[in-house]
Structures are given as C-alpha cells and as structure tokens.
Structure 1
Amino acid sequence: MSFFKKLKEKMTQQTTEVADKFKTGLEKTRSNFAGKMNELVARYRKVDEDFFEELEEILIGADVGVTTVMNLIDELKDEVRIRNIKDTEEIQPVISEKLAGLLDKEGDDGTLNIQVDGLTVILVVGVNGVGKTTSIGKLANYLKNEGKSVLLAAGDTFRAGAIEQLDVWGERVGVPVIKQQAGSDPAAVMYDAIAAARSRKADVLICDTAGRLQNKVNLMNELEKVKRVIEREVPGAPHEVLLVLDSTTGQNALSQAKAFGSSTDVSGLILTKLDGTAKGGIVFAVRQELDLPVKFIGLGEQKDDLQPFDADQFVYGLFKEAIDNEQA
C-alpha cells in the first residue's frame, strides 16, 4: 500500500473539524508548494537529474531550508534507485512520505508537559510581532476547553499595550490575568502570578515575557531572571518553554529560534500565521535544523485556530488533492 493510501485511511479516523482547519489553514502553501509539485510531475515523464534539480528549487522556494533540502534530495535519489522508480507519478507519494518523516521523529513527544498533580508553569517567549500574546490567549482557550483551570501572567511589562492586549485575550477566553503596572519588574509579576495560581488552585499558569529590550543580551538576561524566579517558587518549573515563531518570516525565524534556544532551554515551538504564508515549508526547516518539536500551529484568526501540531494532518493538508485523487 502506498504512503498516500495509508495516509488517506488514517485521515478518515480524524475529526472532520480538525481536518478542515488544516486543509483551510494550509491553502496558500498547498496551492504554491503542491501546485508546483504537480506541475513538475506533469512535465516530466521520467525521474532524472533535471527533475531533481527543479524539485530542489521548489522545496527551497517553499522555505524548507537548503540543508534540509539537500539531505532530502539525496535520500530521494537513493529511494528511486532502490525501488527502481522510473515514472514521476510514482515518486510523489515517496516525496510526501519523506517529508512526513522529517516532522515525525521517533521518540518525539509533541504533547504539552502538563503535571498530573500541582501547578504547571508554561513560559512563552519570542520577539515582538510574531503573535506571542495572541498565541498565549489561544493556548489558554485550548487548555480551558481541555478542562484545565488557567491563569495568565502579564510579564511583558516593557512593550506599550502588551498588558492591555493580554487583558483583552483574558476576557475573550474567560481566563484571569495577573498583572502589575507597565514598566514593572517581570520577575515580580511572575512571583505574584505563582502565588495567585496557588491560592486559586489553578492547573496551568501561562507566562508572557518581554520580546524586546535595548539589545539581545538584556532580553536574554531578563528571561533568565524570570526563569530563576519560577524555578525557585515551583521546583521543576517551567515545565514548558514555548518559543513563538512567525511562519511568514521564513528563514529569519530560524535565526530567532537559535538565539532563544541557546539562552532559554526551549522545549517546543508554536508556529503562527501559517494560514497567511505560501511558504509553509518552514515547518520542515525548523523541525530539522533546530531538533525541537512543533507543538502548536496557528491556522487562522479565531480563538480556536491554534491547533496541536499533527505531522500526518500537515502533510495531508499539503498534498490533499493528490492523495484524494489517487486510485484506490
């Protein structure tokens, strides 16, 4: 059974609502990425060096990342030789299978580290403008719908309007926000928020953090200070450090991730605005080059459009037409 058929069978077991969110949210990337792939397959009758050169250009153009693409092309060439593939139509499911393998690494758990007993503290980091505060609001909504009691900590005290923005999201999803005045010490906000979470017996505390100070060193020092306070007050915390990246910024997102990853022990990624880019291949690049699990992706503007990342759903969303059209 081909990979397309296996994936199609697996998708029939998924909820229609989730499948539709992935399908709709990835429409721009699908029309760009998969559309060019279909054209390539239609133009070439056989799998040769020219075919691979054009495939390489398509993948790099979709922001999959040069290093990832070069390794992928080498693997595809090996598969073509081993399976004795001649027809270009036969290679499309193989390409999809290899891409899925890049996302779904063995032993990788993309679920949130929620504590069975006691308070779970989630620290959310990222530069200003990537959709960090919005993602926090949507994550709070997701966890609340999962039956968790959630609190938010307004730790981005330096950016004008950041506290008010988080307040709006708190009201929108029905989750309390612990805050102080603009310009307050973020570590002090975290201290108060942890005390409030304990007194209210909350399950999860999600902490917003500063996204830009005078320079990168100041920002990383501030984040380290916040982490120390959290670790002191809740041993073993933060249980997650989620880095928010804007998918529309492409390779720049990788640079941000490397800077934060070296200073804050990032445990997972939230990729926002995937519905707004035709270069959703950045998901493959960040997954491969950073070796960090993608835990959530943003597929729209609504409060329930932040979805737990599912590698199979993502690949199906990219190649839906080709998968659905394959003969049973």
Structure 2
Amino acid sequence: MYHFLWALQDDAHRRTNGTVDLLVGNHELELLQGHLHDLATRRHKHDANDLQSYEVLGIPRRRKALCSYAKFPERCMANPKGKHNCADSAGGQQKAEECVRRAWDRQGAMGSKARERFKVAVQVGDSAFVHAGLLFKLWEKIEHTKDKGDAVAWLNAHFASLVSGTPMQELADSKDVILNAKDAHSPVWTRVGRGLDEQAPTVFSGGKDQCELVKEGLGFLFGKAEGKRMVIGHNTILSGRPVAACQGHLIMTDTIMSRGFYEADITPGSEHQDPIEKMFDPRLSALETFDNVGAEVWSVQPVGGRQMQGGRCKHLGPGSSA
C-alpha cells in the first residue's frame, strides 16, 4: 500500500507538477517507533500483550503481516516463530518482528522513505487536514507563535526534524507531543473527535468541551473559526459515511473502509466473500473541495447505495452540522 501511495506522489509530480500529501497517523508512528503490539491484532482487546488476531483462510492476519517483511513469506508463515532472511537480504536471519523493525528504521526500505514523505497536516483553502486534531496547546508545545509565520509549515518542519535520521529507539523514547501516545494534544493521537458522530460534545481538556477546542484550534490557524473546518480521521464512524460535527467545524472521515476491521475469522469457502464486500466496499469514501475561501465540501462514496446513505454524494459544508 505504501509503495502505491509513494508512486502516486511521484506520478503527480512528474505528470502535472501536482502533489499528493500523505499524512502520518498513529499506526505509521508505531511502525517508525518499532511498536508492533497493535499490528493486525484484534481491535477490542483488554490486554495490551494479547497478540492474537483473526484468521483469513486459516492464517492469522498478524502472522501474514509480519511475514510479508521476510524474503520468503511462505516459509515464514509455515514457521512464524523461527528466524528468516528479511526482505532486504542483509544482516543474517531474524525473527519476523525484527524484519519489520529493520524495514521501518531510519535506513530501512520503508522507514527511510516514510521519514521523507509523510507530513502531519495540510491546509487547503478553508480546511485543515490532520489525522487526529490540531489543538491550541499543540503550538505552545512545539514553541510556535503567530509571529513565526505559517503554523502548518512549522509543524511539518518540526516533525521532519524529529524523524529525519533518528533511530527507531530514540523515536520510541521521545516525549515530544507528536510522538507521545499519552499526550491529549498530539495531532496524531488526540481523541478530541471521539463520539462526535453520535453524541453531543463533552468536556475534554482544561474545562472546555470538544467543539470549543476544535474552534479554538481553528481560530489559531486561520485567525477565526467562522467558515473554517478541521478534517480528521482516527475516530471510527459506525454509519460508514463522513460526518460534519461542531456546527460544520469538524469533518470526521474514518468510515472504516479497511476489510481488516472484519472482526471474525474468514474460513475457507466463498460464504464470507459477499458479506465482506457488501459491508466494506460502500464505505470507500473521498472528500472533495477546492482551495479557495468559501469552497463547499462534499463526500463521495462511489460504491455507496441508497440503502446506506441516501445517495452517493453528501454535502458537508459550509453550513452543515451533526
């Protein structure tokens, strides 16, 4: 998947001098930090050390994911606890987990490119795109003030300086707001949008509710929150379609598109294929807008049907609310 996305970046630049901006999420950070406890494991687990995963045709998803970094994945899947040659063919035989870590370290085939190609946020017209959220306290923590210019550019430069050439263990030990999973103001980890697709905002931090914090963050970025919006993922939306919350200031886009969210074993035979396609394909979603002030925003779900959302296009702003 990442190779495909990087190829899209190169193709856009080569053909039209355009850009494809890739935003880092918490799962990419976990790979860069060598934290593999969530890699293809069951989502709703009570023990962080529980590494069980659902099976696809008799093979655990986690085993398949880890072994994809071995030179001979089939051999690895047949002997997942053994040592294998990694895909990069260097450094002798390793456990599958170490093959993943080597690939995502600073000189690895994946990690070296990821450090160069990912951003934390992108600002387009009236919209700020980020994985989890851009809260006001974030800027204080990375020592950015308005007199220092473009806040998003500063944030992306700060992230680049953090990860460029930095060994995996240093990233894992860092307490920087971007990298710290326990920091409620991390643009990659904050849960400021949690539940807003189904319920009213609740107090989140500093006595302020979720929507107050979203508007405060937009006010810092744009000078005012009116007519501006933050576009995030990170918080799954059970309805399967993007939602505008906080009077249209927050657009939530994690529509659970990945079939990896299918929480059951897929056994040999075809009886599971149709239900999976019907469950996840309609959730494929894109957001369309323009880079001018006052531009409208639409969500487009090309495989969507009337049973799910009443049409394939949904207007999300300006003027939308949850």
Same fold (TM over 0.5): no
> When the two structures are superposed, what TM-score results if normalisation uses the length of structure 2?
0.30
Higher relative contact order (CA 8 A, sep 6+): 1
> When the two structures are superposed, what TM-score results if normalisation uses the length of structure 1?
0.30
Whose strand proportion is higher, 1 or 2?
A: 2
